[in-house]
Every structure is written in C-alpha cells, then in structure tokens.
Amino acid sequence: MIGVVVVSHSPALAHAAVDLALQMVPGEKPAIAIAAGAGEGLIGTDATAVSAAIDEVASPDGVLVIMDLGSAVMSAEMALDFRSSEAEVRLSSAPFVEGILAAVVTAAGGASLDDVDREARGALEPKISMLGDAPAPEAPVPEVTTSGATASGAETAPAGLSAELTIVNPDGLHARPAATLVSTLAGFDAKLTVVNTRSGTGPVAANSLIGLLSLGAKSGDVLTVAASGAQAAEALARVTELVTEGFGEV
C-alpha cells in the first residue's frame, strides 16, 4: 500500500481534509503524514518537515504527495533532496481536498502509485460534469489496479454476469457510498463495470471512486453492473447487497 503525504500552508486545513477522507475508508487505511504550517502557529510550509513526512510513510509501493498552493510545491520539490528514504515519490497536481479523498480511498484498495495519482488528478471531473462547465469526458475512467484485480481499461463491459440495481439512497451515489463500494471490491478477484442506464454514462470501473462519481447517479437511477473474473459471482452478490441496502444509509 502506498503512503500519502499532505502538504499545506494551514495545519487546520490539512487535518480537516485528511479527516474527511478517512471517514470514507471503513477498513484498513493507508499511511498518511501531514506537513503543514511553518511552525509556532505560522502559515507556510517547511521543506524539512515535508522530507520527514515522506520518510515517515515511505513504502516499497511508493509515496504520493499532494500540495495546496504554489510554495507548498516548492517545499515538496526541495524535500526530495533532503529525504533519507529511497521509495519512489510522486508530486501530484491533484486538487487538494478532492485529490486527498480520491487518493486515500484508492490507496486503501491496494492500488499502484500510478493509479492512485491518476485518480487523484482526475478528482475534479465529476464536479465539472455535474456543474456543466465542460462536457463529460468521452473516454471512460480506466480501471484502478488493486491487489485483487488485473489492470485493464473499462472501455467495454466484461463478459460474464450482470445485474440491474436501483439506487435507493436519497442523495444518490455520492462520495461515501461510492467509497464503500471501492473499498469492498478491493477484496475480490473480479472486474466490475457500471453504467447509469438513465444518462447512458459509462461503463466505468466499479473500483474507481472518480469513475463512480462521474456517473452522476441519483436516487431511483438504475445501474447496470457487469462482472467477470474468478470471484465475479461473489463480488456481484456483494455489490447487489450494498446497493439494495442503500450502503447502510437507508
């Protein structure tokens, strides 16, 4: 599991963003370190603190660093020269709050550094689509590689089992139930894709938080879930149970 470092000018902002993200992960969580503020209550960043944070969560799987403002990027770049660990470190251009949430949820599923970074960098796409600032991306969100699944895109629904499931949550498929679905699927050797039959959006990989949110699924929408792989039946049964029960929210 990769480590995540959060670099911010404000300790309060960093801790609030991390707390929000951690609420979306019910099971095992990735190692997260915060390097925020310039000491003694001052707003700012410290390259030495960033390097220490990187070393704290260094993993053979790598470390993803998410930063808030310009000088935080500069501090993170300097920190690469100070660190003692040899793990691969990726400085991500992801949006701060949405990127942290996407990174933590995706990393918790055992995804690779490349996949976690991609999910984090694409974290604004669902909001952009919902607000109509730009057309929804034509290419579906690629599948995230986790410890229980083989990497491949979600361009077409996999051959195998399928089910049509109705979203019963009053607020639709929002961040918390989507994160629950991603975390749940990490334990299955199966590939699942999801299509929103109302809007025609998808297919997207069912283990991609950003993909699921990009569906814009509202209460009452019907999702077509297709599954294949060694544990396709078990995974589809679990997804059916989660959706039918409203992900524990209804």
Catalytic positions are 174
CB 92 within 8 A of CB 121: yes
Q: Identify each DSSP E strand in the chain by its residue range.
A: 3-8, 32-36, 63-67, 89-92, 161-166, 191-196, 201-205, 222-228
Which residues are within 8 A (CB) of 208 and not within 5 positions of it... i.e. 6 or more apart? 106, 119, 141, 142, 143, 144, 154, 182
CB 120 within 8 A of CB 106: yes
Phi and psi angles of residue 85, each rounded to the nearest 5 degrees, phi first: -75, 160
